[in-house]
Structure 1
């Protein structure tokens, strides 16, 4: 049970092409976002879709694979952990971000 304390699994569609960064030590990082959808019927019987966007970060070998194989619109399953951080924007305002740091991903389908 210790390994599931901070564990996230999501299936969704990639909302942007991977944003790839390479650091001085040749370590790669990829950022992307995925959308997950839940559907339900409201009190009028109409179907409503609730879309949630998730910030995703991949490092090292996972980042290299994401750069090569993932594109906007692809369906993907990701497994990772939640990480929170803060930064100051250009106006000096402190911003907070929660991201999913990926351990593994599986491309389920893609646009041809």
Structure 2
């Protein structure tokens, strides 16, 4: 039996993408993505809860992020969860879970050229 690791989110960027170029001229973009759920409580009052996700985009998707995404941009994101770890100077191990983006669709309603969705 095979496993499935798939994440689908719609949310807003919390900050402009941070772009780095690694060895081999490979671009990588990192940013936070906020997803907000809303509901009505028993008293009928509107409630909401926001979760923040760490997103990593590689190569062409990183270039797309650099060119078109900004803080507040609304996107549809498909990807997979990846957990990595590192040890700090004191030898304490830290774990980080990120979403590795595999497909991005820009949902902002803006005028001008908008590239097609990429994979």
User: What pairs with 1:36-55 in structure 2 (closer than 5 Å)?
Assistant: 36-55=35-54
Q: Which runs of 5+ in 2 are unaligned?
A: 112-119
SS in 2 for 1:65: helix
Report whether the alignment pairs 1:61 with 2:88.
Answer: no
RMSD of aligned C-alpha atoms? 2.1
- CA shift, 1:87, in A, is 1.1
User: What pairs with 1:28-39 in structure 2 (closer than 5 Å)?
Assistant: 28-39=27-38
Q: Distance in 2 between matches of 1:18 and 1:49?
A: 25
TM-score by length of 1: 0.89
- CA shift, 1:106, in A, is 0.7
> 1:73 touches 1:111 (CA, 8 Å); kept in 2?
no
Q: Distance in 2 between matches of 1:26 and 1:107?
A: 25
Q: For this pair of structures, how many residues does the alignment match?
A: 111
Q: Deviations over 1:33-70 (max 9, x none)?
A: 11001111223322110100011000011111111110
> 1:17 touches 1:72 (CA, 8 Å); kept in 2?
yes
Report whether the alignment pairs 1:71 with 2:75.
Answer: no
TM-score by length of 2: 0.84
SS in 1 for 2:107: strand
